[in-house]
């Protein structure tokens, strides 16, 4: 039997949860506040406020702007590759009749369990004889190894949440597989597709080991540029970049949550009524 919570217990639980959340958010708060410091020492709290480090990020021709552009290009290619592989693989796993489906599913998700440095070394040994080191395409293909399983994981869960009776009803009325996928399955799976797109992009944008093994001195993604800036000294521009990435991550999660909420609202409003038939 569960004992009723007292007022003192509820207050203590709320206070402890607030303190834990503040402790977890403290490093983020320090980074964001420090990014507005005018000096180059990274003092906290800053003695003077300035946006000079944010201005250096977007300065034309700077190493930071070049690295951000390359990371965006690689992440866009990775997202496209991951969605193609993710949609086809998820449809096969959730709707197909594959033999040893669990084993295939485990094999698809295996890159998430293998250390990234091991995958990066294998990709280096694959692309180096082909002369593809430093190519954005090679880096994007390498990132796809990590981003595609994330997309498959999201899309399989999304497809399993779709009522298959809607697809069966369309098929019984003469709709082809392509029509069913285009007019029923994909619209209902749109929140999952959006989430897979966002997380595939983030996975590629933040990946370090594969980019480090496959890049050259002329092709450095943003994580590599950050690593080089912090290897021997503290560059205050890194705090500004970290603040921007934190803001983009929060925005991405908010967009995913909004898309899922809108998708759930649409499903609840447009669901077909089902009558229970009793013998």
* Beta-carbon contacts of residue 154 (< 8 Å; ≥ 6 apart): 86, 192, 195, 196, 199
Q: Give me the pLDDT at residue 150, please.
A: 92
Q: Is the predicted pLDDT of residue 267 greater than 80, yes or no?
A: no
Rounded average pLDDT over 42-61:
76
- For residue 97, give both structure tokens: 């009749």
Give dist(CA 231, CA 223) in Å, integer. 12
Q: Could you read off the pLDDT of 151-182 as tens digits, one per residue?
A: 999 998 888 888 778 877 888 888 887 888 78
Phi, psi of 216 (to 5 degrees): -125, -175
Rounded average pLDDT over 3-7:
63
Q: Give me the pLDDT at residue 263, please.
A: 63
Strands (E), 56-150: none
Tell me the pLDDT band of 5, cut-offs 50, 70 and 90: low
Tell me the pLDDT band of 201, cut-offs 50, 70 and 90: very high
| Residue 127 to residues 90, 123, 154, Cα–Cα distance (Å) | 28, 6, 29
Q: Could you read off the pLDDT of 212-256 as tens digits, one per residue?
A: 999 888 888 889 988 888 877 777 788 888 888 888 888 888 887
Give dist(CA 218, CA 20) in Å, integer. 43
| Residue 210 to residues 78, 214, 221, 230, 240, Cα–Cα distance (Å) | 13, 6, 11, 19, 24
Q: Give me the pLDDT at residue 3, please.
A: 47
- For residue 124, give both structure tokens: 């280096």
Give dist(CA 110, CA 66) in Å, integer. 33
Q: Is the predicted pLDDT of residue 272 greater than 50, yes or no?
A: no
Phi, psi of 60 (to 5 degrees): -60, 135
Tell me the pLDDT band of 80, cut-offs 50, 70 and 90: very high
Tell me the pLDDT band of 42, cut-offs 50, 70 and 90: low
* Beta-carbon contacts of residue 257 (< 8 Å; ≥ 6 apart): none
Q: Is the predicted pLDDT of residue 276 greater than 70, yes or no?
A: no
Return the top range by mean pLDDT from 5-9, 44-48, 98-102. Answer: 98-102
Q: Give me the pLDDT at residue 137, please.
A: 93
pTM: 0.80
- For residue 199, give both structure tokens: 């997380």
Q: Give me the pLDDT at residue 143, please.
A: 94
Beta-ladder partners of 216: 219
Tell me the pLDDT band of 271, cut-offs 50, 70 and 90: very low
Give dist(CA 79, CA 86) in Å, integer. 10
Rounded average pLDDT over 42-60:
76
Tell me the pLDDT band of 28, cut-offs 50, 70 and 90: confident
Rounded average pLDDT over 194-201:
90
């Amino acid at each position: 039997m569960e004992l009723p919570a007292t007022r003192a217990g509820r207050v203590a639980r709320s206070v402890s949860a607030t303190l834990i959340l503040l402790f977890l958010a403290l490093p983020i708060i320090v980074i964001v506040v420090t990014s507005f410091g005018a000096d180059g020492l990274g003092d906290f709290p800053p003695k003077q406020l300035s946006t000079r480090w944010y201005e250096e990020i977007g300065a034309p021709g700077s190493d930071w702007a070049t690295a951000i552009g390359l990371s965006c290009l690689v992440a866009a290619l990775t997202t496209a590759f991951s969605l193609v592989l993710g949609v086809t693989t998820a449809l096969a796993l959730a709707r197909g009749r594959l033999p040893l489906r669990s084993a295939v599913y485990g094999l698809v998700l295996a890159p998430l369990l293998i250390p990234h440095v091991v995958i990066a070394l294998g990709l280096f040994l694959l692309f180096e004889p082909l002369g593809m080191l430093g190519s954005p395409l090679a880096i994007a293909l390498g990132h796809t190894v990590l981003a595609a399983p994330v997309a498959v994981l999201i899309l399989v869960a999304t497809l399993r949440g779709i009522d298959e009776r809607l697809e069966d009803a369309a098929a019984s009325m003469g709709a082809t597989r392509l029509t069913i996928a285009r007019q029923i399955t994909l619209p209902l799976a749109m929140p999952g597709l959006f989430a897979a797109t966002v997380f595939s992009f983030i996975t590629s944008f933040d990946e370090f080991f594969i980019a480090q093994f496959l890049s050259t001195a002329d092709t450095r993604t943003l994580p590599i540029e950050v690593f080089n800036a912090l290897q021997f000294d503290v560059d205050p521009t890194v705090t500004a970049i970290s603040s921007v990435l934190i803001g983009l991550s929060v925005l991405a999660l908010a967009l995913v949550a909004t898309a899922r909420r809108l998708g759930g609202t649409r499903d609840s409003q447009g669901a077909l009524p089902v009558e229970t038939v009793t013998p």
